[in-house]
Amino acid sequence: MFMRVGTLANRIILLVLALELVSIALWGTITYQSSRQELTNSIRSQLHESALRVQTTIGNFFSPINLQTRVVADLIHGVRLNSQDTTYLFNQLLRDRIEIEEISLVAPTGREQIRLSRLHGYAAKDLRDVSTDAQVQSALAGNSAYSKIEFSQYLEPILHASFPVGPSGNTDGAITMVINLKALWALVQQQRIGRSGYAYVVDAEYALIGHADQSLVLKGLKITETQVPPALLTHGESSDVLTYRSLQGIEVLGISSYDADNNWWEIVELPTAEALAPLDRMIQKYMLVFILAASFTVVTVLIFSRVTTRPLQRFHDGMARIANGERSVRFEVPRSSELAALAEGFNAMAQSLDQRIHELEESQQRLLKSQNEIAGLNETLQQRVDRSTRDLRLTNQMLAKTALEANQASIAKSHFLANMSHELRTPLNAIIGYSEMLQEDADMAGMKGSNADLERIKLAGRHLLSLINNILDLSKIEAGKIDLSLESVNVTDVLDQVQSTIQPLIGAHHNRFEVHGSESLGVMVSDVVRLRQIIINLLSNAFKFTDNGTVTLAVRRFVLDSRDWIEFEIRDSGIGMTPEQCARLFQSFMQADSSTTRRFGGTGLGLAISKHLCTLLGGDIFVESTAGQGSIFTVVLPVELASPITAASADALPHIVPHPTLQTASA
């Protein structure tokens, strides 16, 4: 419904219309005001002229009557007319002057001699004595006289007039008559003021006696009872032009003039609607001019705006086409310089854009080609990855199967070893015992030569027993069949026991053994047998791989994260190990290398067992070694082991053993 003013064309139209409207309104207002003033003056002048004309016309209403009556009177007086001739003249007067309703000839005595009427018949017997009538007396005295205006039984205004017959002082009688003023109505009706203006007459009693609308007269209207302003009824020559409601209730411009001769007012009225009609017509003309001008303006501006904005629209359409992918869009360069520059700029932009797009397309094609190649490679790679994944999955499956088999085999192995070790140890102990008994028998028999062989059998048996014991331990650990016996252990006592046990090894390779430990090491809750086994195993290794050196056992107690720990450090100055050797040091049956086994002997199970035991005791074992310089094995155990840790749970537990100074062996 509401117009969209946003477009350039609409804005131009509205702007021009607004300017035009203001201009025409300004012009119209000024013209209207001046025209109104001129019109008002003109109306005022017109009404004054009309009032004057009406006064002249209506004011002379009685003149013909007076004149003709006077002629008749002169004839009666001068020629001494008889009754018949006088009647003749009276009939003519009645016929010619319709104003006269009755006419009488009164003798100087005051008695009627002749009486004629328009409506009634009067015979001689109807004649009256009117000597007492004031007007008759005045006429008989030589002066014309008029009565006040009265209204007849038919509601018509009438008056009585008396004229002398003969000069004053020598009258032969009087002529009296009844004048019906309705004849005045025709005269009043003839008074045209403008198209719908009119005149009316008000007598001295303010009664309406003549009006274009005679029904108002017949109503016996008194002007003082209407809305006509009193200022209209002044006794001056004429009133000012006044605006008021007429007798019919419409707004009029009115002016009155007092007729002193007839003692009445002639009032002229012009309806305001007609009086101001030129103004209305002028306004209509203004509106017509405005509409035509505005229409012309709209059409002109529309054409102009279309001519102006069509190239812009073409630019807009062109840009839309370019936006839609058309690249060959170019504009004809219009004649307008501004638009020509715009078109040239647009064409340059379009060309540049075309070139850029072309380059972009080429790049895009290259990119697409590369993408296709990459896609091919990706596909190949994907195929390879898929294949590798598939292979890996198969491998994993095989590995899992293998691991499962291995685990089953390991378990079987552990069960086997545990059972077999026990079965082996019994005969082996018999062999060792019997070899010792044979040595004793040989000694007693003096068979010294046999002792060396028996010694070899006993040592081999012991070595085998040791090996079997270690295998048995490892098997128990791996099979989860080892049981810890937790108790309060005095650490110093443990150290003493270890020193006592290790004493034979100290001198074997000319080594020194030093023990460092605080006397306040206190008590710890652990399995004392397994603790001793770990320390002795480590010390045995230290003495085994150290010649002419020093083996040190240092024990300390510390607190970390609100928990008490005990650290056993076994340091030697032996052959040491390489990092690679350290990495596989705690694996079963592994020593630093095969040559070590050959050179130093051993099963290669000691460290694996120690490692497992440390774990079961809630701690861990760490190693630091440098080839040729020696090794440091550190065992860290909790002071208080709340409950034994099984092999299975040890694998599941996170590694929480502190290692403040050393690299972990399991890393």
CA dist., res. 165 & res. 74, Å (int): 7
Which residue, 119 or 323, is less far from another protein as judged by CB?
119
The answer for residues whose C-beta is within 8 angstroms of residue 467's C-beta and 6 or more apart is: 603, 605
Which of 288, 403 has the CB closer to another protein?
Answer: 288
Q: Show the binding pattern over residues 8-47: x = contacts another protein (CB under 8 A), - = does not.
A: -xx--xx--x------------------------------
Output phi, psi for 629, to 5 deg. Answer: -120, -20
The nearest distance, CB 33 to another protein, in angstroms, is 21
User: Cα(105)–Cα(110) distance, rounded to whole angstroms?
Assistant: 9
* Token couple for 424: 């082996």
State the nearest-atom distance from the C-beta of 301 to another protein, in Å: 8
Asked if 108 and 102 count as a contact pair (C-beta separation under 8 A), the reply is: no
- Alpha helical stretches, state H, 83-133: 83-96
Rule CB under 8 A: choose which of 84, 324, 328, 337 binds another protein.
84
Contact with another protein (CB under 8 A): which of 204, 277, 298, 457? 298
By CB under 8 A, residue 91 contacts another protein:
yes
63/342 Cα distance (integer angstroms): 92
Q: How big is the chain by its Cα radius of gyration, in Å?
A: 78
The distance of closest approach from Cβ of residue 7 to another protein in the complex, given in angstroms and rounded to an integer, is: 8
Kindly report the CA angle at 484 between 483 and 489, in degrees rounded to 5?
160
Given a contact cutoff of 8 angstroms between Cβ atoms, the answer to whether 569 and 632 are in contact is yes
Q: Is 218 helix (H, G, I), strand (E, B) or coil?
A: helix
Distance between CA 165 and CA 70 in Å, rounded? 8
Q: Please give the Cα distance from 556 to 569 (Å, whole number).
A: 9
Query: What does 297-308 look like in DSSP terms, one character per residue?
Result: HHHHHHHHHHHH
Q: Does 294 bind another protein (CB under 8 A)?
A: yes
DSSP state of 629: T
Using alpha carbons, select from 108, 113, 228, 125 the residue that is nearest to residue 173. Answer: 108
**CA 589 to chain centroid:** 80
How far apart CA 628 and CA 649 sit, in angstroms, is 38
CB hemisphere CA count around 474 (13 angstroms): 24
Residues 97-116 that bind another protein (CB under 8 A): 98
The CB-of-186 to another protein minimum distance in angstroms stands at 7
Shortest CB 65 distance to another protein, Å: 17
Chain-centroid distance, C-alpha 139? 104
Of 128, 148, 192, 219, which lies in the binding site for another protein, with binding defined by CB under 8 A? 219
Least Å distance, CB 2 to another protein, is 9
Per CB under 8 A, which region of 43-51, 102-110, 123-131, 407-415 contacts another protein? Answer: 123-131
Q: Which of 95, 390, 422, 516 binds another protein (CB under 8 A)?
A: 95
At 625, phi and psi to the nearest 5? -150, 150
Cα 650 to Cα 504, 530, 641, 655, 657: the distances in Å are: 34, 16, 13, 9, 12
Choose which of 79, 155, 273, 508 interacts with another protein (CB under 8 A): 155
Among 123, 444, 642, 648, binds another protein (CB under 8 A): 123
Is 120 a binding residue for another protein by CB under 8 A? The answer is yes
Identity of the amino acid at 615: T
Q: Spell out the residues 6+ positions from residue 335 whose beta carbon is closer than 8 angstroms to its own.
A: none
* Three-state DSSP state, 637: strand
Is 88 a binder of another protein (CB under 8 A)?
A: yes
- Please check whether residue 428 is in contact with residue 465, taking contact to mean a CB–CB distance below 8 angstroms: yes
> In this chain, which stretch among 207-215, 227-235, 350-358, 474-482 interacts with another protein, using CB under 8 A?
207-215
Please identify, among the stretches 117-125, 202-210, 366-374, 508-516, the one whose residues bind another protein according to the rule CB under 8 A. 117-125
Q: In the set 115, 182, 530, 612, which binds another protein (CB under 8 A)?
A: 182
- Binding mask 348-377 toward another protein (x if CB under 8 A, else -) reads ------------------------------
**Spatial contact of 199 and 225, defined as CB atoms under 8 Å apart:** no
In the complex with another protein, which residue's Cβ is closer, 5 or 652? 5
Task: Identify residue 162 by its one-letter amino acid code.
Answer: S
Nearer to another protein, 6 or 654 (CB): 6
Q: How far is the CB of 73 from another protein (least distance, A)?
A: 17
Write down the least CB distance from residue 15 to another protein, Å.
12
Which range, of 178-186, 233-241, 258-266, 402-410, touches another protein by CB under 8 A? 178-186
Q: What angle do CA 605, 611, 615 make, to 5 degrees?
A: 145
122 near another protein (CB under 8 A): yes
Helices (H), ranges, 446-522: 448-479, 491-506
Binding residues with another protein: total (CB under 8 A)? 51
Instruction: Identify residues 564-623 at the interface with another protein (CB under 8 A).
Output: none
Q: How far is the CB of 340 from another protein (least distance, A)?
A: 26
Residue range at the interface with another protein (CB under 8 A); choices 7-15, 399-407, 440-448, 501-509: 7-15
Amino acid at 253: L
Find the binder of another protein among 15, 25, 291, 374 (CB under 8 A). 291
Task: Verify binding: residue 195, another protein, rule CB under 8 A.
Answer: no
Structure tokens, 325: 């992918």
211 binds another protein (CB under 8 A): no
Rounded to 5 degrees, φ, ψ at 140 are -60, -25
Q: Which of 621, 618, 620 is CA-nearest to residue 643?
A: 618
Piece in contact with another protein (CB under 8 A), picked from 284-292, 321-329, 408-416, 604-612: 284-292
By CB under 8 A, tell whether 225 contacts another protein. no
CB of residue 291 vs another protein: minimum separation in angstroms? 5
The residue type found at 503 is Q
Judged by CB under 8 A, the stretch of 253-261, 294-302, 537-545, 582-590 that binds another protein is: 294-302
Q: Which of 21, 75, 218, 277 binds another protein (CB under 8 A)?
A: 218
Cα distances (angstroms) measured from residue 497 to each of 128, 503, 640:
192, 10, 20
Q: Which stretch binds another protein (CB under 8 A): 151-159, 196-204, 535-543, 600-608?
A: 151-159
CB of 147 vs another protein, minimal distance in Å: 21
Q: Which of 34/300 has CB closer to another protein?
A: 300
Q: Which is nearer to another protein, 212 or 468 (CB)?
A: 212
Please give the residue ranges that form the binding site for another protein (CB under 8 A): 3-5, 7, 9-10, 13-14, 17, 84, 87-89, 91-92, 94-95, 98, 117-126, 154-156, 182-183, 185-186, 213-215, 218-220, 284, 287-288, 291-292, 294-295, 298-299, 302
